[in-house]
Amino acid sequence: MPLNPSTSAPSPDDAPRPFAKQRTTPARTKRWFLAIGIAALALALATGGYVAATYRFTHPSPTARVFVRPEAARGLVETSVVWRVETKRPEYALTFDDGPDPRWTPQVLRMLAAHHAHATFFMLGDEAQANPGLVRQVVAAGNEVAIHGWTHAKLTFMSTPQIQQALGLTSRTLMAAGAPKPVLFRPTYGRIDSPGLGVASADGLTVVMWSHHITGSTPARDRAQIDKTASPGMIVLAHDGRTEPNAQMMTQINGLLGDLENRGLTSVTVSQLMTDSTRDSR
């Protein structure tokens, strides 16, 4: 006898419906399906949670690293990370990364000279090795030469010895080209974790980030934004090498130098900005 006559009773006019019986499910079977579903869901959640937890503890992100303990060190072990400087002087610091570059670095030097301004150049060691004459020109014009990296590799994917080697080699290459010993370091992509900070500390380097930037993709918009928010002590990121620079960007940087000059703001090197800082004299 059918459990549900309304759906399974054959009508005299209809052909037999072989699947009609499957449209109804006994209440007991429904409960079983529900129970199995809940159990499967619970198992999936538990398994997922376990896998996630295991992954979290055994596969930390590339930046979840530590620097080796400086057990043999004596005295203070520290480094600073600077985004901007506090100063009462009408100064800011324009900075250029990824050079020296035979096409763009001379152009930047001419712009700076025309505005009686100075900048800090965070250089790549391999570019400095290929263009030592440009390093000398940057220094001779009163600018600061600092470390960006040997190549543009991400620090967070390099081991501590690799970072030590890259920064040490870049420092020696810059000095061999005529620069004073670099004291500032800007990590590529602005990305740094504990090993990079540890090496900076061991090498006596201050890590310099930035508070403003002017890019190659939207230089006019970036210049307008800097015009709107500029204040003494700001550190402006720009590029004189690799893929970022272009003619429009240089035009906007030149305009920006003029805009800020008209407001009495002068670009100095980052080290000068930090020396003039009022942070420690309050």
SS in 3 state form for 12-80? CCCCCCCCHHHHCCCHHHHHHHHHHHHHHHHHHHHHHHHHHHHHHHHCCCCCCCCCCCCCCCCCCCCCC
Residue 77 phi, psi (nearest 5) = -120, 110
Smallest distance from Zn ion to CB 121, Å: 11
Residue carrying structure tokens 């990590």:
187
Q: Which stretch binds Zn ion (CB under 5 A): 59-67, 90-98, 99-107, 273-281?
A: 90-98
Q: Which stretch binds Zn ion (CB under 5 A): 59-67, 97-105, 170-178, 208-216?
A: 97-105
Q: Which of 118, 148, 212, 239 is catalytic?
A: 239
Report in angstroms the alpha-carbon separations of 55 from 49, 52, 58, 61. 10, 5, 5, 10
Spatial distance between the Cα atoms of 138 and 128, rounded to a whole number of angstroms: 11
> 98 or 193, CB closer to Zn ion?
98
Q: Which of 97, 101, 222, 240 is catalytic?
A: 97
Smallest distance from Zn ion to CB 213, Å: 11
- Is 97 an annotated catalytic residue? yes
Spatial distance between the Cα atoms of 162 and 164, rounded to a whole number of angstroms: 5
Helix (H) or strand (E) run with residue 145 in it: strand 144-149
> 237 or 265, CB closer to Zn ion?
237
Smallest distance from Zn ion to CB 227, Å: 24
Smallest distance from Zn ion to CB 254, Å: 21
Cα angle 177, 182, 186 (rounded to 5 degrees) comes to 115
| Number of residues counted as binding Zn ion (CB under 5 A) | 3
Question: Does the protein bind Zn ion through residue 240 (CB under 5 A)?
Answer: no
Scanning residues 186 to 215, which ones bind Zn ion (CB under 5 A)?
188
Scanning residues 162 to 191, which ones bind Zn ion (CB under 5 A)?
188
> 97 or 127, CB closer to Zn ion?
97
Smallest distance from Zn ion to CB 98, Å: 4
Q: Which stretch binds Zn ion (CB under 5 A): 26-34, 38-46, 95-103, 262-270?
A: 95-103
> 105 or 266, CB closer to Zn ion?
105
Angle of helix 105-114 relative to helix 247-262, nearest 10 degrees, comes to: 20
Q: Which stretch binds Zn ion (CB under 5 A): 36-44, 89-97, 134-142, 274-282?
A: 89-97
CB distance 46 to 39 below 8 Å: no
**Structure token digits, residue 280:** 């420690």
CB distance 138 to 265 below 8 Å: no
Of 93, 96, 97, 197, the residue at the interface with Zn ion (CB under 5 A) is 97
Give the length of the chain. 282
Smallest distance from Zn ion to CB 97, Å: 4
Q: Write each residue from 98 to 137 as x if it is in contact with Zn ion (CB under 5 A), else as -, in one continuous string.
A: x---------------------------------------
Which residues does the annotation mark as catalytic? 97, 239
Contact residues toward Zn ion (CB under 5 A) are 97-98, 188
